[in-house]
Amino acid sequence: MTRLSVNINKIATLRNARGGNNPNVIQAAIDCERFGAQGITVHPRPDERHIRYSDVIELKKVVTTEFNIEGYPDDRYIKLIKEVKPAQATLVPDKPDAITSNAGWDTVKNEKFLQEIIAEIKKSGARVSVFVDPEIKMVKGAKNAGADRIEFYTEPYASHFHLDKVKAIRPYIEAGKMAHEIGLGINAGHDLDLHNLKFLKDSISHLDEVSIGHALICDALYLGLENTIQLYLRELM
């Protein structure tokens, strides 16, 4: 079964909009796990507009499933990984002011940079995943850089799903086959929801994990968090 990691950034965004500690990000993570989530994902950004670096420290104390920390590998991120020692570090190429991730790494152009970063992160014991577009050369580049897994950037799939889902998924299938052949684990994330998740999961062989935040939290406003997590898990069976 493909594992579900819940990205709780949006819960932190809601908290930060009003100040105080409501909703409680730490309790939300505990509840997500209690409701069936098999991982918790956070993506702290330099301006701390949602998850704060202090949240990550506190979350480490309570998360009992896989803790995944996403981020651009600057000095502050590397320091955080070394201190927290999460199960997984997911490297994204976002600029500091990016609203959300909007592309994968050019793992060919940045191979040397990623090699050095990945080697440093692995000293903490974390598994390293690299955010990539569904291109075979980028998958191979991630392998050459020393990554353990890739995470497919799935916004292009999601945005074209209702137009032609077979065409939209095709590059992910081919890139996924290559990833498995060369020994990389496969994660996926960005704009996945209850409409497009099952087709993705059924189409990509050996899909280890999906990381879902925005759509899941939006659905939870209508359906409740526990029910929503169960619905997402059902799509991954």
* Residues catalogued as catalytic: 43, 70, 190
Q: Report the alpha-carbon distance of residue 68 to residue 126 in Å, rounded.
A: 9
The alpha-carbon radius of gyration of the chain (Å, integer) is: 17
Q: Report the alpha-carbon distance of residue 29 to residue 33 in Å, rounded.
A: 6
C-alpha distances (whole Å) from 16 to each of 21, 38, 52, 151 are 8, 26, 10, 28
C-alpha distances (whole Å) from 128 to each of 10, 22, 29, 31, 153 are 23, 32, 22, 26, 16
Tokens 């499933």 locate to 65
Beta strands in 103-193 (DSSP E): 127-132, 149-153, 185-189
List the beta bridge partners of residue 41: 7, 68
Is-contact 167 160, C-beta < 8 A?
yes
